[in-house]
Amino acid sequence: MIQRCWLICVALIFLLPSGLHAQTNKKAAVLPFRINAQEDLSYLSTEIPRLIQNDLKREGASIVEPSPADIMAWKNTPSEEMEARRIGLKEGIDIVVWGSLTRIGQKISLDVKVMAPFTREQTQTLYRTMEGIENLLVNVQEVTRDIGFKLFDRAMIAEILIQGNRRIEVDAIDFDASRPSRAMPISPAVSRMI
């Protein structure tokens, strides 16, 4: 009887953490981006999603790759939002990300849309403008941070209020070791060493 109790306790110890972890794991899918530019920047269609996926993985999300058929349907759809919701519902995804990059001269606009397919929330649009392609990585990381806030229900600290004693003692401000009246006393044994 005691052996059975021990066996059940050991089994529960090993089974519960994995079950709890599975419930908190968030799934995300990042769909290819649409690129609007005069020059050929088509590689960014898959590169921007890859950067977002890597950052979300680092934050703890599980990345779900939609099937090739879903990707083809996505590229040919007139209604991105409806297709993103369909893919999210089909795959059981907590959040679906897609967007576009527009470049006119050196001005770049990055529009990222974020949808939670199982909720009735409106699609959230994250918008960044920048000057020059060299600033794209930093802006993608900022957008990914904002996506992480939504995915993991985090809040950004907007303000820190300090209450209590704001007085700084005069000795902390006015200490000058070169003035004898304020200098720290030194023992005679230490002063002979100096």
pLDDT-above-90 percentage for the chain: 25
* Residue 153: predicted pLDDT: 75
Lowest mean pLDDT among 28-42, 74-88, 92-106: 74-88
Q: Is the pLDDT of residue 191 over 50?
A: no
Specify burial of residue 150 (Cβ count, 10 A radius: 0-12, 13-18, 19+).
middle
pLDDT class of 97 with cuts at 50, 70, 90: very high
Specify the pairing of strand 124-131 against strand 34-37: unpaired
CATH placement of domain 19-151: 3.40.50.10070
53, amino acid identity:
Q
| Residue, of 6 and 151, whose pLDDT is higher | 151
> Which pLDDT tens digit goes with each residue over 143-173?
888 888 788 877 666 677 766 666 666 665 5
pLDDT-above-70 percentage for the chain: 68
H or E element: which one contains 53? helix 44-59
Lowest mean pLDDT among 2-16, 37-51, 83-97, 136-150: 2-16
* Residue 189: predicted pLDDT: 52
* Residue 110: predicted pLDDT: 92
Closest CA to 33 of 15, 18, 46, 21: 46
Reported pTM: 0.65
